[in-house]
Amino acid sequence: MKIIVTGGAGFLGSRVIRSLLANGGGKDGVPAFDSIVSVDLAPCPVEDPRVSSVTGDIADAAFAREIITEDTVGIYHLAAVLSGGSEQDFDLAMRVNVDGTRALLEAARATGNCPRFIFTSSLAVYGGPMPDVVPESLGLQPASTYGAQKAIGEFLVNDYSRKGFVDGRVCRLPTISVRPGKPNSAASSFASGIIREPLNGEASNCPVPLDTRMWLSSPDAAVKNLVHAIAVDGEKIGQWRTMNLPGVCVTVGEMLASLERVGGPAARALVTQEPEQRVIDIVCSWPGDFDVSRPLALGFVRDADFDSAVRQYKAEFVG
């Protein structure tokens, strides 16, 4: 029995794989498995005999059916063209984010076994006028190509679940901060950059106003929640399978205050404030706080505060 992880070579995907391997299957609600297949454009960095890497195009229906077979008990669909990249290349984003998602769902449907299907979505599905705290019932009004494509994916996973083709779980992730490595094409990439770079002695720019509210999660909390997503009983989630995963609400100014508390004034001084309208148009359309009482009741977790996320990054990756 196997679990498929698209985007398994990436930072989040590889961490999910490591956590699944460490926790094991067949207990605490996680389906029993003996192997994990990473599907990405590059090999998975996890070195374990239970992990294999497959490279290919997830929008290719034949490829999707090759990797998702009758012995597939779970599918993590993390691969995507991110927010900035989706704005720049609409056709590629449609192929990966929409066509790829449907190809995977169709392959899962073809197994006839209703595998668990975890789809990572985004708070970019929201836009327009919003209350200070967003309820789960708020209608979707995405203000970006990425947000629109993630909304399409959410509806697909919910309907395939309603039909009994998959046992879906849609996880709207907060912005992950602090990510290690280099900036990516996400419009929210600065949310890690304004912490990561200064802690490593490098300058970084904050492209949005300091009063911009962000909904954030540390990598550790995000991975715990994604592993829990495959374990939680689908009947307890209910008919509507979409959940806003817990995060913490902080302004960008409060993020920089956390940077100064953890890294000192010299680190804070490395952050400049030059506005970038492209980023503002996308990020400032997103909500900054959510009602997550239902996911918390289902066993999902949140960080205590943003300071702890900054300390986590510093302890693991700095010096």
Report how far residue 252's alpha carbon sits from residue 256's, in angstroms, rounded to the nearest whole number: 6
Residue 125 bridge partners (DSSP) = none
User: Which helix H or strand E contains 151, and what residues bound it?
Assistant: helix 145-162
Q: Which two tokens stand for residue 150?
A: 């993630």
Tell me the CB-side half-sphere exposure of residue 271, using CA atoms within 13 A.
29
Question: Assign residue 15 a region: left if phi > 0, alpha if psi is -120 to 50, beta otherwise?
Answer: alpha
As to burial, measured by CB atoms within 10 angstroms (0-12 exposed, 13-18 middle, 19+ buried), residue 99 is middle
Please indicate whether residue 76 is annotated as part of the active site.
Answer: no
Report how far residue 318's alpha carbon sits from residue 174's, in angstroms, rounded to the nearest whole number: 23
Report how far residue 297's alpha carbon sits from residue 228's, in angstroms, rounded to the nearest whole number: 12
Residue 85, Cβ neighbours under 10 Å: how many? 19
Q: Which amino acid is at 108?
A: A
What separation in angstroms does the CA of 46 have from each of 2, 10, 64?
16, 10, 22
Residue 49, Cβ neighbours under 10 Å: how many? 6
Of 76, 146, 160, 313, catalytic: 146
Residues 6+ apart with CB under 8 A from 91: none
| Length of the chain in terms of residues written | 319
Active site residues: 146
